[in-house]
Amino acid sequence: MNESGIGLAIDGTGSSRRGGSRCVSFVKRIGEVLHVIGSLILFFCFFYVFIDVLFRFLKLSPIGDVIELCGYLDVWLGLLGVGFVFREGKHICVDIVTSNVSDGKKYVMSIISDIVMMLFCMFMTYKGIHLVVSSYELGELSMSWGFPIWPFRIVVPLGFFFLLLEVIFHFASLLKDNKKRTALQIK
């Protein structure tokens, strides 16, 4: 960060383009917060299952409905973490096609892939909002505990929206890197 508290630009130069660096910094902070939330969810699931198993082992009454709650929390864990995993490049990548093509073709394939991902994320964000609203309007309740389902479904549009932001920044960095490469080739 520079003196004004604004993070570095995408290229790491610390240039004074405040808008871009603020957005990148903001998205990275969101990713860090979601990473912490995911860690807490994972810890809670392990702890919750451990306590339930311990109660059963001690012949006490089990907590019950562990599977349902942990299932919802697993969905939260996956959808909140997908943007972070994409940014870090730790997602599953099938490179059987791209490993045998030139750098230019890899670049074109990356552009097409990012465009398809952005469209998919926009669609899923839109449908996720529709899912949450309809779940709220219908008053859907959990099968075992009877609590409203819509708060658990909020993660669908949130997760895909955060992934959309990450893909947009990846797409922008691809375009920026290509401009740099083209400028070096011209010189």
Closest CA to 45 of 17, 20, 71: 71
The dihedral over CA atoms of 177, 22, 31, 80, expressed in degrees to the nearest 10, equals: -100
- Residue 137 confidence (pLDDT): 94
The dihedral over CA atoms of 112, 114, 115, 117, expressed in degrees to the nearest 10, equals: 120
CA 9 → CA 18, 31, 117, 136, 170, distances in Å? 8, 17, 23, 40, 13
How many alpha carbons fall within 13 Å on the CB side of residue 78? 9
- Residue 134 confidence (pLDDT): 96
CA 17 → CA 7, 21, 27, 177, 180, distances in Å? 10, 6, 16, 17, 17
Residue-wise pLDDT tens for the chain (187 aa)?
333 333 333 333 333 344 567 777 777 888 788 888 888 988 988 998 898 889 888 888 877 777 888 888 888 888 888 887 888 776 777 777 778 888 888 888 889 999 999 999 999 999 999 999 999 999 999 887 788 989 889 999 999 999 999 899 889 888 887 766 655 455 5
pTM: 0.74
Through-space distance between the first and last CA atoms of the chain, rounded to whole angstroms? 32
